[in-house]
Amino acid sequence: MVSVLEGRLTRTWNYTLNENKQHIITLFHDTITGLRSAMLDYHEIPNSFGNSSLFMESTGHRIFFSIQSIDGSAVPGFIEIKRSGWTSFTYRCIIQNEEINEITQIISTSPTEVFHTNITDNVLTKDEYTEGSSVVWYVVNTTRQSDKSSTSVHRRFKDFADMFSQVKQNFKGHHLRSSLPIFPEKTLKLTTDHMDPTFINDRREKLSTFLANLLTIPHVSEMTCIKAFLGLMDQVKEFSISFHVPTLGLSLVAPEKQSIENPAIVGIIQKPELCPGLFSGDSITKINGLPVAGSTFTGVVNRIKTLPRPIIIHFVQVIATKSVSSISTNV
């Protein structure tokens, strides 16, 4: 049960079908405005966007979905949002007439998904929107204990703050919220030089300690926002590379079928020493933190060629060896 004054929150349920694949159902709800949406396995559930405010009917609202099994049959389910009197909301997820426990309701004394992290480095890039300013990126290195998959992603201080905000949304109405570590202090640029090496190193150490402590809290490592921040989402991983030279040592290709989400993929790796861990077929998702979704292939290539170095490029890779052949453009 959650107070109507909580504001934005998230609820997540995990469901394993026939002891095979684990499916993740996530609800986003603003208790004040009533706005809501839901996702199944990181994809928006059709018709889930709507309004479930305090003034909805007492029977509540249901968001229906179905999970595809191996044999092609559909397993039905729904998320239920109901108001409890005029002061709170309740949430349930029902699959095949069985109520699923929300992840924060499952008794746990230690994380079920174990991540080992550290922040050992940082990179400065030019601020594209403020002349003469720079942006500090902290390199977050993560290893997933279950399969030893590892990745490194560049994150800004703002990314840490946004991630922690989402974690707190997941814990609204839960006693573990009081156990969350304190986020490193934000300081004004007018009073503190954010480019000072001593300040950067101090903030890096504080962020590294904060992240390590956060991951010891039960349920945190199971949250979608945490997996996305660390760059390890089941069998897909994000990783980023900072390039300090004009050419990247690789070619880019446009997908055979035009895609607004992935307009450019990696073709031939010409200089693997410049892009360790990269494979042909990996997709570019962000350049200096800005998504490329919605850009054209030419737009992505031109942006990479014209931005000052160093430049940080984010990629998405299936955790498996890949290869691709196509007409390419060197960058």
Q: What is the pLDDT of residue 322?
A: 45
What is the structure's pLDDT at 323? 43
Q: How high is the pLDDT of residue 111?
A: 53
Q: What separation in angstroms does the CA of 149 have from each of 41, 114, 154, 320?
A: 20, 11, 17, 11
Q: Could you tell me how far CA 38 lies from the centroid of its own chain?
A: 15
Provide the pLDDT for residue 211.
98
Reading the block at residue 87, the tokens are: 């002061």
Cα–Cα distances (Å) from 245 to 119, 139, 212, 271, 301, in that order, read 24, 19, 33, 12, 15
Q: Name which of 153, 120, 122 is nearest 136 in CA terms.
A: 122
Give me the average pLDDT of each 10-residue run along the chain (331 residues). 86 83 91 93 93 92 92 92 90 95 70 85 91 93 94 97 92 86 90 92 97 94 92 92 94 83 92 94 95 93 95 91 52 75
Q: What is the pLDDT of residue 328?
A: 60
Rounded distance between C-alpha atoms, residue 59 and residue 68, angstroms = 28
Which pLDDT score, from 0 to 100, does residue 320 have? Answer: 65
The pLDDT value recorded for residue 112 is 59
